[in-house]
Structure 1
Amino acid sequence: MASRIGSVGGDIVGIDVLETGNGVAIDEFAVMLADPELVPLLVREIGEVDGASVEEVREVAQFPDPRLDALASATRICEAGSSLALEHTLVEHVTTEFLAEWAALVQGDVLRACAGHPPPATQLVALAAGTSASPAVAEGMTGPEDLAVAGLPAHGCTLLVGRGDAPFRRRERAQLMALAGIADRMWSVLDDR
């Protein structure tokens, strides 16, 4: 793979293994190219590698680093001075961290916070109710490709994150569950003040 990327003058600046199983690995490569016009050539070159294919190409300002991004989000969540600030920080950071179109925090039939361009509140409430009915989805193990879900059980909330251009992977779902757990705990700390 590296030789094909190098053949078009590309530099690999990051690699993240998103998922493995059944003899298949799904990797995310961050590649710097001298000219965006080289992307089609790069895709063709990668297609020449046995068993390799390109699922998606996206231009980003910086390559997401799931380890550092998660720590930065956790830090911001822990710095929140009130539960309201925590709610907004949570949805804003997961929207950015997961390159999502939107994120929303729903409690019962109330939309507590949202970021990006989410569906209408009534649809979010229905999504939260529907996903909580499935243990596998509620536990973050699976779900629709364009939706990741995490519960904040101490506060009866559901965190929904939507992204239409790339499926959510297991690692991302696990990362979202961890951030939701941190937020749920910090919310309790803020409530006790």
Structure 2
Amino acid sequence: MRCTYVMRVWLPDRPGALGAVASRIGAVGGDVVGIEILERGGGRAVDDLVVELPGPEVVSLLVREVQQVDGVDIEDLQPVADALHDPRLDALETAAVLVGASSAAEVLDALCQHAVRTVGGAWGAVVDLTEPALCSGHGEVPSVEWLVAFARGSQAAAAAGPTGVEVEAVWAPLPAAGLALVLGRDGHPFRSRERRQVMALARIVDTRFRELRAAEARRAHPSAAGTSVPGFVGGGAAGA
């Protein structure tokens, strides 16, 4: 029975490097059914390859074959439950869920859950940086104190300029809401494309959260309930 894996590889950023890796995958009976370029720089590229294999028994052989390609390293290899895994489709579906949320609480919960799935995180949280407080969480979320410290530290580091340090957590601000999204995982850092995806999802939710909070405030205002006037129906006097 064929199975699907996502293999994250470092390879030389030169013509033919990806073809050499694909050739090795084909040598064990596998097919490359998806490619996502996560990061490029310093003469190296980091790619996610969605690989379909004849079965899990060839995984170790696949690893040995790919590692024989000069300059190529495997950072991670994970099975994919959905054989039709498509990162671009995942991102679009996540955006649709976020835009369709019907309450401020729902959109924050959806952001945590779907951002984790879209970028491959282990956990996700939305925190209020001023309280501080946890607004929503998915997975084994660290303490509020750690989340706030990480977000504030990352904000200060970004203002100072690029550091080149790779971390296994990523954050994005929701400035209109006064909140921050923080995602984390173990084993491998977030890459440039993944960080941009997190920022884009946060911008969508920041706008939607503001709209939903405004709608909730209007519904809660006493004038929203209206008043009842005897003998008055729909703008005309009763019996008119």
Question: TM-score higher than 0.5 here?
Answer: yes
Secondary structure at the counterpart of residue 27 of structure 1: strand
Question: 2:105 aligns to what?
Answer: 84
In the alignment, structure 1 residue 157 sits paired with structure 2 residue 190: no
Give the partner amino acid of 1:116.
G
CA distance 1:128–1:22, change in 2 (3 Å) = closer
- Residue aligning to 1:119: 142
State yes or no: 1:25 paired with 2:45. yes
Structure label with greater radius of gyration: 2
Question: Under a length normalisation based on structure 2, what TM-score does the superposition of the two structures give?
Answer: 0.74
Q: Secondary structure at the match of 1:76?
A: helix
1:74 and 2:82 aligned: no
Moved more, 119-128 or 173-182: 119-128
- Residue 49 of structure 1 corresponds to 69
Percent of aligned positions with the same letter in both sequences? 42
- More off after superposition, 68-77 vs 119-128: 119-128
Say if 2:212 is the partner of 1:190: yes
What are structure 2's unaligned runs of at least 5 residues? 1-20, 216-240
Q: 1:22 to 1:125 in 2, by over 3 A?
A: closer
- Tell me the residue number matched to 1:134: 157
Distance in 1 of aligned mates of 2:44 and 2:182: 28
Question: Partners of 1:16 and 1:184 in 2: how far apart?
Answer: 27
Q: Distance in 2 between matches of 1:105 and 1:136?
A: 21
Question: Offset at 1:120?
Answer: 2.1
Alignment RMSD, CA only?
A: 2.1
The separation in 2 between residues aligned to 1:127 and 1:55, in whole angstroms, is: 24
Aligned counterpart, 1:103: 124
Q: Is the 8 A contact 1:140 1:174 kept in 2?
A: no
Number of positions where the alignment pairs a residue of Structure 1 with one of Structure 2: 192
Q: Secondary structure at the match of 2:176?
A: helix
Question: For the structure 1 residues 110 and 140, does the alpha-carbon distance in structure 2 shift closer, same or farther, using more than 3 Å as the test?
Answer: farther
Residue matched to 2:30: 10
- Give the AA of the match of 1:72: E
Over 6 Å off, 4+ runs: 139-143
Does residue 175 of the first structure (1) align with residue 197 of the second (2)?
A: yes
Are the aligned partners of 1:16 and 1:27 in contact in 2 as well (CA < 8 Å)? yes
Alpha-carbon distance in structure 2 between the residues aligned to 1:192 and 1:155: 11
- The CA deviation at 1:192 is 2.2
Residues in 2 aligned to 1:65 and 1:141: alpha-carbon distance in whole angstroms:
31
C-alpha separation in 2, matches of 1:166 and 1:129? 22
Residues 181, 140 of structure 1: alpha-carbon distance in 2 compared, 3 angstrom cutoff = farther
